Amino acid sequence: MENKRGSTQQRMTGREGSQLKDLRIQRILKDVGAIAFPGVYDTLSAKIAERVGFPMAFISGYSVAATTIGEPDLGLLTQTEMISQARSVCSSVQIPIIVDADTGYGNPLNVIRTVNELIDAGAAGCFLEDQMWPKRCGHMRGKRVIPRDEYVAKIQAAVEARDGRDFFIVARTDAEQVQGLDEAIARVEATREAGADASFVEAPGSHSQLVEVGRRAPPPIVVNMIEGGKTPVLPKEELVNMGFQLILYPLAGLYAAAHAIESLYRDLQRNNTTLGATQELMDFARFNDLIGVEEKYAVAKRFDAK
């Protein structure tokens, strides 16, 4: 099939490009060309991402479901819960945050409300997907997708709701596992024509499929690197050479935190002390610095607050 990269770049330099030039995410891409960035799930993980130097991050629905309701990403998390978490995270850091908006939580009317709520919460953008509800993690089995024209209508609703505001819309399709790669590419092409800002074919299952997505999808293109998931985890340089620009590690932080906590708690349960495990911990002073204790003391002093 013909490589669509050139025609897409031409579109991005016209009317659509003029709409994108002031977006926070678009500025980052312009500055760095391509970026590997993390998923976060709460204010602490977002603060750490910001502190170590990431210029942007992503709130994963999988992670929020796991950490706020203790459930898998099977359509159990509500719009209200996700917006609430997005508001907390976005207000805690200065870097732009893209938020997983799942399916928009309903029809185009729901999508419009979701986009407006996310913008009000401070989000810099969202992922909007084409699964049928209840949706599920893109690397889990049993996915179903809505018809292509219904999905395009949702993207059009999101673009209309954005109304020129600084909000980066990623069109994510899960159609590859359900209807094949050709349909997935057709969907991201159609959604980009409808005004989405980036393409995301979720869960390619092989190196060769990644090559095809990078060659055929309209840029900029998102790729999900989930450790143990369906897609091979590859170095940034290789993915960039394939054609990807937004290289997301949505669950690495969550999995690292879960592993560290489980390991420490097992030691504590076994030994009844954390002595000998202090090298695995951020100490009191460093943690207080991370959450800004001294800054709050300074503010309190200014107002003579006790």
Angstrom distances, CA of residue 174 to CA of 62, 136, 137, 177, 200: 15, 10, 10, 7, 9
Concatenating the DSSP letter of every residue in 56-125 gives: -EEE-HHHHIIIII---SSS-S-HHHHHHHHHHHHHH-SS-EEEE-TT-SSSHHHHHHHHHHHHHHT-SE
What does the alpha-carbon distance between residue 159 and residue 154 come to, in Å, rounded to a whole number?
9
Q: How confident is the model at residue 13 (pLDDT cuts 50, 70, 90)?
A: very low
Q: At residue 17, does pLDDT exceed 70? A: no
The answer to whether residue 304 scores a pLDDT higher than 90 is: no
Mean pLDDT of 71-93: 95
Is pLDDT above 70 for 64? yes
- Asked whether residue 54 carries a pLDDT value surpassing 80, the answer given is yes
What is the mean predicted confidence (pLDDT) over 116-138?
A: 93
pLDDT for the residue 198: 97
Q: How far are the Cα atoms of 42, 227, 229, 251 from residue 139, in angstroms, in the given order?
A: 22, 11, 6, 12
pLDDT of 19 higher than 70: no
Q: What is the pTM of this model?
A: 0.89
CB of 188 closer than 8 Å to CB of 217: yes
Quote the mean pLDDT of the chain.
91
DSSP string, 163-209: TTSS-EEEEEE-HHHHH-HHHHHHHHHHHHHTT-SEEEE----SHHH
Neighbours of 254 (CB within 10 A): 21
Residue 15 pLDDT exceeds 60? no
pLDDT given at position 136:
82
The architecture in CATH of the region 5-251 reads Alpha-Beta Barrel (3.20)
Q: Which amino acid is at 100?
A: D
Query: What is the reported pLDDT for 2?
Result: 38
* Interval 231-238 mean pLDDT: 96
Tokens of 100: 């997983």
Backbone torsions φ then ψ of 214, nearest 5 degrees: -65, -30
Where exactly are the structural domains of the chain?
5-251, 258-302
pLDDT band for position 284 (50/70/90)?
Answer: very high
Q: Percent of the chain scored above 90 by pLDDT?
A: 82
Residue 156 has pLDDT above 80, yes or no: yes
Distances, alpha carbon 181 to alpha carbons 10, 130, 176, 200, 203, in Å: 24, 14, 5, 12, 11
pLDDT band at 306 (very low <50, low <70, confident <90, very high): low
Handedness of CA 78, 73, 167, 193 (dihedral sign): negative
